Amino acid sequence: MPGIILFPSPACDPVVSPPLDQPICAILLDVEGSTTSIDFVYKVLFPYARSHVQGFLKRHGSSPDIQKDVAALRREHLQDTRQNLNPPALNNIEPDSIVPYFQWLTDRNRKSTPLKSLQGKIWEEGYAHGMLCSHVFEDVPAALKRWQEENKKIAIFSSGSVLAQKLLFAHTTSGDLTHYLSANFDTTIGTKTDPVSYQRITNAMQCSPSAIVFISDLVAELNAASSAGLQTLLCERPGNHPQPSNSFKVIRSFEELNFAQIVFSKGL
pTM beyond 0.85, yes or no: yes
171/124 Cα distance (integer angstroms): 10
Whose CA is closest to 201, among 141, 235, 158?
A: 158
pLDDT of residue 76: 97
As annotated, the residues of the chain forming the CATH 3.40.50.1000 domain(s) are: 26-36+134-261
Average pLDDT over residues 154-176: 97
Q: List, in sequence order, the alpha helices (H) in 25-139.
A: 38-40, 46-60, 64-82, 99-107, 113-128
Q: Per-residue pLDDT for 71 more than 70? A: yes
Neighbours of 173 (CB within 10 A): 10
Whose CA is closest to 187, among 111, 103, 118?
A: 111
pLDDT of residue 88: 96
Q: Give domain 26-36+134-261's CATH architecture.
A: 3-Layer(aba) Sandwich (3.40)
Q: Per-residue pLDDT for 94 more than 60? A: yes
pLDDT of residue 220: 98
As annotated, the residues of the chain forming the CATH 1.10.720.60 domain(s) are: 40-128
Q: What is the phi-psi region of residue 257: left when phi exceeds 0, alpha when psi lies from -120 to 50, beta otherwise?
A: beta
pLDDT of residue 22: 62
Average pLDDT over residues 123-145: 97
pLDDT of residue 261: 67
167/94 Cα distance (integer angstroms): 28
- Note the CATH number of domain 40-128: 1.10.720.60
Find out whether 144 and 215 touch, Cβ atoms under 8 Å: no
Instruction: For residue range 14-60, list pLDDT tens digits in order.
Output: 333 333 446 899 999 999 999 999 999 999 999 999 999 999 999 99
Q: Per-residue pLDDT for 142 more than 60? A: yes
35/113 Cα distance (integer angstroms): 21
Q: Per-residue pLDDT for 221 more than 90? A: yes
For 30, phi then psi, to 5°, come to: -75, 160
Instruction: For residue range 227-265, list pLDDT tens digits in order.
Output: 999 999 999 999 999 999 999 999 999 997 887 666 665
> Which 3 state secondary structure label does DSSP give 61?
coil
